[in-house]
Amino acid sequence: MSLSLAFLTSFAAAPLSLLITRLSRRWSGGVLAAVPAGLMLWFASRAPAVLRGELPAIDMPWVPELGLAFALRLDGLSLLMALLITGMGALVFLYAGRYLGQRRHLSRFYAWLFLFMGGMLGIVLADDALLLFICWEVTTFSSFILIGFEHKEEEAREAAQRALLITALGGQALLVGLVLLGDVAGTLSLSRMLEPERVEQVRGGSRYLPILLLVLAGTFTKSAQVPFHTWLPGAMTAPTPVSAYLHAATMVKAGVYLLARLSPLLGGTAAWEWLLTGVGAVTMVSGALLALGHTDFKRLLAYATVSVLGALVLLLGQGTAHAVQAMVVFLTVHALYKGALFLVAGVVDHEAGTRELPEVGGLLRRLPITGAAAGAAALSMMGVPPLFGFVGKELVYEACLEGPGGWPLALTAALGFSLMVAAALRAGVRPFVGGSFRAGKPEAQVHEAPSSMWAGPALLATAGLALGLAPKALQPLLGAAAAAIGGAEAGHLELKLWHGLTPALGLSAASLAAGGALFAARAPVLRGLQALHLERWGPERLYQASLEGLKRLAHAQTRVLQSGSLRRYLAVTLSTLGGLLALTLALRLRAPPPGPPGEILLHEAAVLVLMLGAAVLAVTTRSVLTSLMALGAVGLAEALLYAFFGAPDLAMTQVVVQTLTVILFALIFSRFPVEPHEERPRWRDAPLALAVGGLLSWALLHVAAVPPHTRIAQFYATHSVPEAHGLNIVNVILVDFRAFDTLGEVTVLATSGVGVYLLFRTGARQRRRT
Amino acid sequence: MERYLALSIGALFTAGFYCLLRRSTVRLALGIVLLGHATNLLLFTVNGLQRARPPLVPEGAEAPTPPFADPLPQAFILTAIVITFGLLALLLVLVHRTEQAVGTDDTQALRAELPDSER
């Protein structure tokens, strides 16, 4: 029960943030940070049970008709992710309180952040595929809102739209994939899917490949894999706390998380191995390359995040026990240092007034604590011993060397890491120690940020250092997370700083040296990369072209369909009606059924002739008065028909209403100047009207051949007196059996009466004024 | 009789559609009234016609003596007649006010009154 409470707390906190912000803007961040911090403590207190293998879980039916269950489960992987989400959340709330303190809509910002946190916790806790999908979409949507938070800026709106289009389309694919998966496996429960016979059904089934491709479409878009990565750098228009939280530490890892969660079910096949390893490797190298070519602090970090996400996917593609362990460790490493670096970027932006890396330098004197945190985080990113990043990198190399990828894959990874080393030096070191300060404001005015802003990066960087020195502290938790993905074998995780003189150490040293050299020679490299405009190629082009195409298509079809011409709308409507009628008649029935024409009495024939003649006159005459008289005649003829065929009530009502109609027409149009329009010639409107009218007649002739249905009439006839005590059956139907219909009718009439009154009144008022 | 009426209803629909397609809003209103007549007659004939007694129960009896006319379409049509009238009243006043405000009863000309962005 308390598990669902933990899940729902953030949703409940969203409205609370509105109140807290109103009470105190200054302290709101610190107060609200208590919510994620409390949740983190709660999750941490569950750790001993989870490590013992007693997994807290709940399973309640939600919408059983759809197979939707409210099922949550906390295993090692969920616990690790939940701790990252709530821990980073606490730091980010604390930070945002100061970072956005003066900004408008701060409370709204908090509310969306809480909503995101709830969705993200839901993703990692959900044991039901559909519940997971719902939470997945919650994060997509809150990410969209938060990217477009500065909604008055064109760039932010464009970036938000792009992120939504890419991730939401991927989400649709994921939904189809999960539903297919649930259909094949026979359950939507993620833990029950892993039962051996169900795994057999999924992997051996003919629908394995479509399921895999759909799930990959969802996860790759969310985790910004090439070619879907283009939304992530754009997302940097979001306020920095959002970039640190959603677009580095948590949300972009949702895709990796889901892949990890499903890898025992979908993994281990050739398609899985090739697709994940291939896409991951390409993403890792191209992400790092793009990162190196950027001068904007946050964009550089965003591309570096793309690169790391590629590495994580690559490791899942390898799928060995070691690869799974490396993935879990590297994910944690990345969350720590990338969160810190993003928060540092925010501090630099906030204090120095620029995010352009070449414009800042020597900031360590001005921002000592922030600078130290940035340095430690960057060293962890580079994988320098004795930081936690070194431990993670060693594991990645070892997993690559031992896995099916072997040396070629390890060298690819080394290439990616070398580029990343150079990027880390540019982002985390050079702005603080080397170069000169050339930003807009005088260097002397740059001060250290308030403690609530440096606390986050300092804490995260310290954690990176401490875990590097004593990696055993996290060993049980990370082992449990790896075991949740790769089984017991992956659970035997041994973390240590010194692995001995291994090939992995050699690769590590080589990538550090190569990265250092690349950084030393950065000027020509940078110029070359910038001249290539890598980010404008390929997927970027495709995205722009398809967006333009979509807009053009919308314009073209709107011009045709929404022409603003009433006549065209009616012509389209009538043609559709006629077309469908003609199709049905042609497909299912042929000519009108044969048979005697039926008898017609003389007075009936006379009334029909009168009615049709009056209708023709009403349509053809140019005089409004003649039209009105003819219209009255049609109505009276209709009333006579009702009278002939046993409906005196209808006849009476028809006479009254028809009289009122003619009076109303006469009142309105007596003062109406009827100018002859330059009408289209009649022959252009008449054929369509004739065709549709003719088709309706044809259909009615078929209807007339069907024997009448009498059961309902019999029901009303026999129940009218005993149940409703009324002798006039039509009346009884109206006010008793179908009284709600009559209530609706009265409502329509009253509404129309109010409308008529208002229109007349405003008309009179305007006339007085003129 | 149903067959003759089927053809007549088709003719009324034709007249109504034709009026709708013309440019004048007066014709538009006329067309709506004609469509109302046609639809009501359609409801009336669609389950067969009988030259029969009205669906009334004689005093003291439990049920009407057959043959009697089908009461259900009659109830529908009664509702339809009234609603058509409500619709028409609103439409006519709207046409009137539009003509006052814009000075035309030409639907094509009304289109020209839209701002460019909505055309």
Q: What ipTM describes this predicted complex? A: 0.92
Distance from CA of B78 to the nearest CA of A (A): 6
* Same domain? A545 vs A426: no
Low-confidence winner among A552-556, A691-695, B102-106 (lowest mean pLDDT): B102-106
Q: Which domain holds residue A546?
A: 523-552
SS3 A636: helix
Residue type, A485: I
Hey, how many other C-beta atoms are within 10 angstroms of the C-beta on A671? 9
* Same domain? A381 vs A527: no
Which among A577, A599, A672, A743 is the top mutation candidate for probing chain B, defined by the most B β-carbons within 10 Å of its own β-carbon?
Answer: A672
**Interval A522-534 mean pLDDT:** 79
A612/B33 Cβ within 8 A: no
Distance from CA of B56 to the nearest CA of A (A): 5
> Does residue A30 belong to any structural domain of this protein?
no
* Structure confidence at residue A544 as a pLDDT band (50, 70, 90): confident
* Structure confidence at residue A595 as a pLDDT band (50, 70, 90): low
- Residue numbers in B near A568 (CB within 8 A): none
Helix (H) or strand (E) holding A72: strand A68-73
A674 has a pLDDT exceeding 60: no
- Residue numbers in A near B40 (CB within 8 A): 638
Return the CA Rg of chain A.
36
B15/A618 Cβ within 8 A: yes
Q: What is the pLDDT of residues A244-253, one digit of tens each?
A: 998 888 999 9
Low-confidence winner among A83-87, A113-117, A710-714 (lowest mean pLDDT): A710-714
A720/B13 Cβ within 8 A: no
* Same domain? A433 vs A546: no
Q: What is the pLDDT of residues B83-119, one digit of tens each?
A: 999 999 999 888 888 877 777 777 777 766 555 544 4
First to last CA, chain B: 48
A677 has a pLDDT exceeding 60: no
Residue A441 and residue A352 in contact, taking contact as beta carbons nearer than 8 Å = yes
- Determine contact: B87 vs chain A, CB below 8 A: yes
- Residue numbers in B near A722 (CB within 8 A): 62
* Structure confidence at residue A724 as a pLDDT band (50, 70, 90): confident
Which among B7, B19, B21 is the top mutation candidate for probing chain A, defined by the most A β-carbons within 10 Å of its own β-carbon?
Answer: B21
Nearest CA in chain B to A597: B3
* Same domain? A476 vs A547: no
* Same domain? A335 vs A311: yes
Q: What is the pLDDT of residues A615-668, one digit of tens each?
A: 999 988 888 888 889 999 999 999 999 999 989 999 999 999 999 999 988 888
B50/A685 Cβ within 8 A: no
d(CA A354, CA A50): 45
- Minimal CA–CA distance to B88: which of A651, A619, A635? A635
- Determine contact: B112 vs chain A, CB below 8 A: no
Distance from CA of A5 to the nearest CA of B (A): 50
A649/B59 Cβ within 8 A: no
Size of interface A-B (CB pairs under 8 A): 281
Residue A593 and residue A702 in contact, taking contact as beta carbons nearer than 8 Å = yes
> Does residue A548 belong to any structural domain of this protein?
yes
> Does residue A2 belong to any structural domain of this protein?
no
Distance from CA of B39 to the nearest CA of A (A): 11
- Nearest by CB: A721 against B33, B63, B71: B63
- Residue numbers in A near B108 (CB within 8 A): 565, 567, 677
* Same domain? A421 vs A527: no
Low-confidence winner among A289-298, A367-376, A589-598 (lowest mean pLDDT): A589-598
Which domains are delineated in chain B?
2-54+65-118 (1.10.287)
d(CA A412, CA A311): 10
* Same domain? A545 vs A501: no
A766 has a pLDDT exceeding 80: no
CA atoms within 13 A on the CB side of A419: 28
Distance from CA of A697 to the nearest CA of B (A): 5
- Minimal CA–CA distance to A282: which of A224, A209, A211, A218? A224
> Does residue A356 belong to any structural domain of this protein?
yes
**Interval A730-745 mean pLDDT:** 91
* Same domain? A288 vs A362: yes
Q: What is the pLDDT of residue A689?
A: 93
d(CA A508, CA A386): 13
* Count of structural domains within chain A: 2
> Does residue A365 belong to any structural domain of this protein?
yes
- Tokens representing residue A738 in the block: 């179908």
Q: Helices (DSSP H) in chain B: which residue ranges?
A: 2-21, 25-45, 71-102, 107-112
- Minimal CA–CA distance to A69: which of A121, A13, A133? A133
Nearest CA in chain A to B9: A697
* Same domain? A497 vs A531: no
- Nearest by CB: B33 against A631, A703, A704: A631
* Same domain? A398 vs A540: no
* Same domain? A417 vs A484: yes
- Nearest by CB: B74 against A649, A668, A707: A649
Q: What is the pLDDT of residue A409?
A: 92
A700/B10 Cβ within 8 A: yes
